Structure formats: structure tokens, C-alpha cells
Amino acid sequence: MAIVAHLDLDAFFAAVEELENPELRRRALVVGGDPRSRGVVATANYVARQFGIHSAMSCAEALRRCPEAVFVRPRHTLYREYSAEVWTAIREVVPVVERTGLDEGYLDLTPLAADFGRARALAEAVRTSVRAATSLSCSLGVAPTKVVAKVASDRRKPGGITVVPAGTEAAFLAPFPVRVLPGVGPRAEERLHAAGIVTIGGLGVLSDLDLRAILPGQVGRLLRDRALGIDPRGLELTSERISISVEETFERDLRERDLLHAELRRMADRLGEYLQRDGLSARTVTTKLRYADFSIRSRSASLPVGIDDAERIGELACSLLDRGLRDRPGALRLVGVGVSGLSGYRQLTLEEAS
């Protein structure tokens, strides 16, 4: 029997800022862009959340909801340092992990816990270890599968542990809105709602015929399986699925291609510095485009070998932006560059090898 935990650091960026400046703990704190401009909330502490402030909200709206809120710009280098300490502490308790971001990931409890009672004790030990090493709070969900553990980790925030024993997965998931289920995006949610399916339990009992009418193809069957708690995925241990990205919201929407290219190359320089500092290379470059109507498009390119060269990343990012604008022309309010498929090794070029 597999037992897996999903760990999520609570309001991670805001929690780090509170550690750096304890006076912020009593204030409504928003980590994001300029509220007098076009910034977006990255995260908010739990004081700010009492005012209805949440991630992806415009900072202007956050300021309207709480005029006394404190706004700080993200400090990603600092967050990476805290994240490294967190995962070092976790591995001292559970050696086998899959990081899916700076602040979340999966833990394989199977070799260490014979049953779910022992798994809870192990999750408590992980929570204590993270707190002792960093003073940060984390929430954990423990279940037989990744999809159930992911949903469970969000149930008792901040700092809670939710255990879903084998055989209770479908009953645990059933009452939640369909959008809570990993893999259900806005379009799938819209189709399910149009068919009168508003809970995960309703999705789980759909017949094959009804499912094909609402969510045709493999996606529908996959989501129905997940609604029942069925998820054959194991932890991805060959590489940690962490990406690094930089993005910028403009003071005004930009159409000028040379200005957009200059922004992308500046971001690529920062990414190149991150990669070379940490001894990493990346096989995939992604350019993100957000249009004036807030719609988002992204274009990616994958390479046969990893790179850490800022100039090459910039060239690819600009090419991807051009491709995106050919597919959909228009002014952009934001662009971003990200790299993924990270590795600690890269292949030398002929010039470096000679």
C-alpha cells in the first residue's frame, strides 16, 4: 500500500517577509507589485486574507479592500534560500521527495510508515522539523495517492495535517467543488457546471456515456478517476520539477517589438545569473504573454541539451514572443521568461571543450 504526503508551505513568500521583519506579522501584508500601478498579488499573509485579498488579484483591488495593507516586492533569491533550508530539513525525516515548487512537493512515506497512524506521526515530525529549522509553517495532506494528498493539504491551513486513509478517498473528495480537483481548469469547470455537475462526487459517478458528452477523450476518464481518488502516478524522482521565471507588468501596454525584446533580454540576463550561480542548466525556455484583456498565452522551446547562457536564453525568448504575436497580435501588459527542465549538469560546447 502506497502512502504519500503533499506538503505546502503556508503563505510562503509572506511568511518569509514576516520572518525578515516581525513587525509585519500584525499587519495586512501583500507580496506583489505596485498597488498604484498594474501589479498583481503573488501571495498575502493571513491578516490580509481576512479582507478577501488573494493571489492573482490586482494589487490595486487589494489596496481598495485594505487601505492599510503593506505591499512589498517579491525577493525570489531570498525565498530560494529559505526553500533550500526547508527541503534539507524535510529530507532529514523523509529522504524520498519530489519538489514541485519552492514551497510544495510530495513525500514518499511508504518505506517509513506501515499504516496511516504512523504516517500521521511522520507528517507531524516533518512539520516540527521544518518549524525548528526555519520557523516556517507548513500544511500536509496524507493519502494513498498524489491527487488526494494534494487536495487534503489545503484543508486545514495554516499548519494542519489531514489524513485520508485507504478506502475513504472518494468519500473525502465528494463534497468539494469540481474546481478543487487537480486537472479541472476553467473550461472543464464550465462544461461540468453546464451539465449540472458542481461537486467532485458528481463527476465521479458519471456514466461513460454522460462523461463523453461533457468531457470527451482521455481527459474525461482521467478526471473521473481522480474524482474517485484513483491516481497511478508515483513520485518523479529523476529530476526535481522546479522552474525559474521572471516577469514584468508594464506601466502601459506595449506593442513596440524592440522594447519587448529588450525586456526579455534583461530578464534572460537575470535567469542566466541564477542558473550559473546555482550550477544549473535548463532544457526548456518559455515566454509568457499577457494581453490587455488579461488573457495569457505562452510559447515554449525545448533543447536537446541544457543551457545556462543568458544570450541564448534571450534569443529563444524573443523568438518565442514573435511566434506568439504572429499567432495572436496585440498589445501586451506583461511578458515573462521562464526556464525549466533543470539539471546540475550541462554539455560543453565545442569552444568550451577545446
Residue 244 β-bridge partners: 339
Provide CB contacts within 8 A for 273, sequence distance 6+.
310
Which residues is 343 bridged to in the sheet? Answer: 281
The HSE-up count of residue 215 (CA atoms within 13 Å, CB side) is 27
CA-wise closest residue to 280 among 314, 309, 260, 258:
309
Task: Look at strands 104-108 and 332-343 and give their pairing.
Answer: unpaired
SS3 for 106? strand
Strand-pair partners of 285: 301, 339
- What does 47-71 look like in DSSP terms, one character per residue? HHHTTT--TTSBHHHHHHH-TT-EE
CA distance to 2, 76, 191, 242, per residue, from 80 (Å): 30, 6, 38, 11
Q: Which is catalytic among the residues 17, 18, 104, 169?
A: 104
The terminus-to-terminus CA distance of the chain in angstroms comes to 52
- Known active-site residue 169: no
E-strand spans in the chain?
4-9, 29-32, 41-44, 70-72, 97-99, 104-108, 138-143, 161-163, 244-254, 281-291, 296-307, 332-343
The alpha carbon of residue 254 and the mean position of all alpha carbons in its chain are separated, in whole angstroms, by 27
> What's the rounded Cα separation, in Å, for the pair 201 and 192?
12
Question: How far, CA to CA in Å, does 344 sit from each of 108, 239, 282, 332?
Answer: 23, 10, 9, 34
Catalytic residues: 104
